[in-house]
Amino acid sequence: MDALTLLHERSSMGKLMGPPPGPEQLEAIYRAALRAPDHKELRPWRFIEFSGEGLSRLGELFAEAEYREDPHVGDAALDSARKKPLRAPMVIAVIARVTPDLIKVPKIEQVISAGCAAHGILLAAHALGLGAMWRSGKYAFDPTVRKGLGLEEDDEVVAFIYLGQLGGRHKPIAEHRQEDFVERWV
């Protein structure tokens, strides 16, 4: 697949199945992530890879977040939280590891850079014929989850990327009118 076709045709896949990406695929995926644009070479990112029992541990963290938010939460909601990471054989949390108070590289730039790393993961996964879906959801912003993943105060969870083999067909790609988004000063 040539580079422009990849950029034009990447698409998300919510239906994912095992096996998880193999070591060579993961090497290519992280290599793409680590090529993200990065002002002052801060490398403002951290990746946590969950598979196997790790997915259940992440689910437990989501359930704990529900409980801490509302100790009267029902079993169904706890169970639903626990099962969320099990929708894929692998989840990669992309975390912006933010160095605060840098005048030349404010927090927003560091978070954007981590977002570009997340996009790199999606693109590499697509190029490898894998399925991937960028999710955030409320757990990305939850204090219990943040603490459980070891975030510092200024860090942000940028993405939970669900990864695996394609479990369905890609949806048709919506074409957008470029004139609706592009202004030209000439």
Ligand X SMILES: Cc1cc2nc3c(=O)[nH]c(=O)nc-3n(C[C@H](O)[C@H](O)[C@H](O)COP(=O)(O)O)c2cc1C
- Cα 120 from Cα 165, distance rounded (Å): 18
Q: Which of 5/136 has CB closer to ligand X?
A: 136
180's CB contacts (< 8 A; 6+ apart) are none
Q: Where does 9-80 show beta strands of DSSP type E?
A: 16-17, 45-51
Q: Smallest distance from the beta carbon of 52 to ligand X, in angstroms?
A: 23
Q: Give, in degrees to the nearest 5, the angle at Cα 161 between 156 and 162.
A: 145
By residue count, the chain amounts to: 186
The mark string for 135-154 relative to ligand X (x by CB under 6 A, - otherwise) is xxx-----------------
The reply to whether 11 sits near ligand X by the rule CB under 6 A is: yes
135 annotated to bind ligand: yes
The reply to whether 134 sits near ligand X by the rule CB under 6 A is: yes
User: Which residue in the set 133, 145, 157, 163 belongs to the binding site for ligand X (CB under 6 A)?
Assistant: 133
Q: Which of 40/171 has CB closer to ligand X?
A: 171
- Cα 11 from Cα 7, distance rounded (Å): 9
12 annotated to bind ligand: yes
Residues of the binding site: 10-12, 35, 39, 134-136
Interacting residues toward ligand X by CB under 6 A: 11-12, 133-137
